[in-house]
Amino acid sequence: MPHLMELKDAGKFTLCDAPSDQQHNVSNLQSDPEKSDDEKLLHNYNAAKNCLSLCTADDEKLLHNYNAAKNCLSLCTGFVSTSCQPCEEGWTAHRGKCYFFSSKKQTWFESRDLCVASKARLVSISNKEIQDFLVSKIKETHWIGLNDLETEGHWVWMNSQTLSETGVQFWHMRVSWPNEPDNWKEDDPSGENCASLGNFDGFLNEWFDNSCRMQKKFICEKKNTFPLIDDI
Ligand SMILES: [Ca+2]
Ligand SMILES: [Ca+2]
């Protein structure tokens, strides 16, 4: 493993012959607490891309520069990428995150644990864009990371965000029956404390509270460790 300063120097000087005012200083970003890891990666990806675009088209030099840029990027977050795949096999990249749509049905608790076992968590829906993306990918009801297990009626996502904090909710509404969430206790005396996209009748673009013991497919999400520019 080359010394840190060698890599920084590679980023600044050997990476390409771009004028210094066109090169982004990776080390400044590393210490900027205002920037999220995703923002840093995007910035550094763009910096590397800009830098490479100034270099010669010579294949060997491009390969060398690509490796130098990759090494530089690995210093920014401590993440060492072995490939430029945006997400692992079986996961779908979308706007800086990777999503997993299960093929098997599980209880909500099993779904939550399986996501965690994949270093992910049950999906959060914090805006309409994510809601629409997820709805476009499913053909039946799926568990999401919303629950009122701790306090009845107080719905929270896996990161403890509340619905008033995200500002969006897509509960199913009824004309002559109570709206969702209705905490229906006919099937499960403990009520309905876990939310899903859709129910067994469809309505895939709406949320329902269900018994957490129901078996449904589920959606996990995790950060994309190397988002491509077109995927942000
Ligand atoms: Ca409930
Ligand atoms: Ca319900």
Q: Find, among 130, 33, 26, 110, the residue nearest to 70 by Cα.
A: 26
Instruction: Find the 153 Cα to ligand 2 centroid distance in Å.
Output: 12
Q: Find, among 58, 61, 66, the residue nearest to 11 by Cα.
A: 66
- pLDDT value, residue 17: 41
Instruction: Find the 180 Cα to ligand 2 centroid distance in Å.
Output: 5
- pLDDT value, residue 71: 65
Identify whether the C-beta of residue 197 lies closer than 8 Å to the C-beta of residue 204.
Answer: yes
Ligand 1 ion: nearby residues, β-carbon < 5 Å: 148, 183, 191, 193
Bridge-based pairing state of the strands 194-199 and 142-147: antiparallel
> How far apart are the C-alpha atoms of 11 and 30, rounded to whole Å?
14
Instruction: Find the 187 Cα to ligand 1 centroid distance in Å.
Output: 13
> How far apart are the C-alpha atoms of 40 and 30, rounded to whole Å?
8
**Structure confidence by residue, pLDDT tens digits, 112-143:** 999 999 999 999 999 999 999 999 999 999 99
**Structure confidence by residue, pLDDT tens digits, 21-45:** 434 444 444 455 566 777 777 777 7
Backbone angles phi, psi at 204, to 5 degrees: -65, -15
| Domains defined along the chain, listed by start | 4-77 (no CATH), 92-223 (3.10.100.10)
Instruction: Find the 155 Cα to ligand 1 centroid distance in Å.
Output: 8
**Structure confidence by residue, pLDDT tens digits, 67-120:** 766 766 665 554 444 445 678 899 998 988 999 999 999 999 999 999 999 999
Could you tell me the pTM of the whole model? Answer: 0.65
Instruction: Find the 10 Cα to ligand 1 centroid distance in Å.
Output: 56
Beta strand segments in 18-102, E: 92-94, 97-101
How sure is the predictor about 4, in pLDDT bands with cuts at 50, 70 and 90?
very low
**Structure confidence by residue, pLDDT tens digits, 161-187:** 999 999 999 999 999 999 999 999 999
